[in-house]
Structure 1
Amino acid sequence: MDSDGSRIAQARHLAAAFLTKVRDDHGVPVAAATVETVQLIVSELVTNARKYAPGPALLRLRVTGSVLRVELWDSNPVLPVAKAPDPRRIGQHGLEIVTTLARTLTVEQTQTGKRITADVTLDTDAE
C-alpha cells in the first residue's frame, strides 16, 4: 500500500463519487451529511487496513434500498477490538468512530483475513 496516504484519499473520493452517481443517475436520496459520514467510515476502515494488514485490501460499496453497505476485506485475520473510551488516548479511535456512525457494524473472520461491514442510512431525513 501507499506510504503517503494517497490510497486513503482515493478511497474517500471514490466513495463520494459513488454516492453522487447513486443520487444523480438512479434517483436514490442521499443526504449531504451522509456523504461526509461515509467518507469518514471509509477513511477509518482503509487506514486500519493500511496500517495492520500485511497484504491487499478490498473495498466494496453496495446500495440496497435506502442503505449503503460499506464492506472492507483485508488480509489480516485478527479481529479489531474497540478500546475503552479514553479522551486522553491519541489515535486508535477508528473502530469507535465507525461504530458510532454506522447503523450496524459487523466484523468477521474469513479464510484469508477478515471482513468489516458497516451499514449507513443514505437519507438521514427518512429516519
Structure 2
Amino acid sequence: MHDTKITPASTSSSPTVVRGHSTESVRQAREAARAFTDSLIPLPDPATADTLVLVVSELATNALRHGGGRYTIELSATADVVTVAVSDPNPVRPRERTPDLNGGSGGFGWHMVRRLTTGLTITPGPGSGKTIRARIPRLGS
C-alpha cells in the first residue's frame, strides 16, 4: 500500500506536492523530485537535479524522524531557482548536531541541506507545525 500522494507538475510553473508518513515515502519523494526536474523546460543543470533529490531526501527523512512522522513537500521552480518546501507538524526548528562518525546515528543531514541550498528559511505553519523552504539555483554552482 502506497502512503505517498504525488501531484505531478504539468509545466515549469506548476508545483509538485508529495505527502508521506513512512520510510518508503522518502524513496517516493526522491522519485517525485527527479520527475519534477525532468518535467522542467528548460531542463535544469544535472547538478541542480541531483542536489534537489538529495535535499528532498534529507528533509523528508528529518521530518519523519524529528518532525512528527509525516510531511508535505512542495516543489516549484522559476527561471532562476528550484524551491523545495517541507512542512511537518512539529514546531521545533532543526538543530545542528555533531555528526556521529562511529555509531551511525546521523547528524549529517541538516549540515548538508544548509551547505547545498541558498535562501534557507523556516516559518511557522501550517497549523502548529513548521515549513522549511530551501532554494537551489537552477544552474549548478
TM-score range, shorter chain: 0.7 to 0.9
The range that moved more, 85-94 or 111-120, is 85-94
Shift of 1:88: 5.8
Aligned to 2:29: 11
Aligned to 2:139: 123
Higher normalized contact order (CA 8 Å, seq sep 6+, divided by chain length): 1
- Give the aligned CA root-mean-square deviation in angstroms: 1.9
Aligned to 1:31: 45
Runs of 4+ in 1 over 3 A off after TM superposition: 84-90
Q: Secondary structure at the match of 2:97?
A: coil
Amino acid corresponding to residue 21 of structure 1 in structure 2: S
Structure richer in helix, relative to its length = 1
Aligned to 1:109: 124
Q: How many residues align?
A: 119
Q: Secondary structure at the match of 1:79?
A: coil
- Structure 1 residues not aligned, in runs of 5+: none
TM-score when scaled to structure 1? 0.83
- Structure 2 residues not aligned, in runs of 5+: 1-20
Distance 1:47 1:86, change over 3 A: closer
Shift of 1:85: 6.5
Aligned to 1:61: 75
The range that moved more, 105-114 or 95-104, is 105-114
Q: What are the superposed Cα offsets for residues 19-43 of structure 1, whole Å, 9 maximum, x if unpaired?
A: 1001xxxx32411111111110000
Distance 1:89 1:99 in 2: 23
Question: Percent sequence identity over matched residues?
Answer: 33
Aligned to 2:61: 47
Amino acid corresponding to residue 81 of structure 2 in structure 1: V
> Would you say 1:96 and 2:111 are equivalent positions?
yes
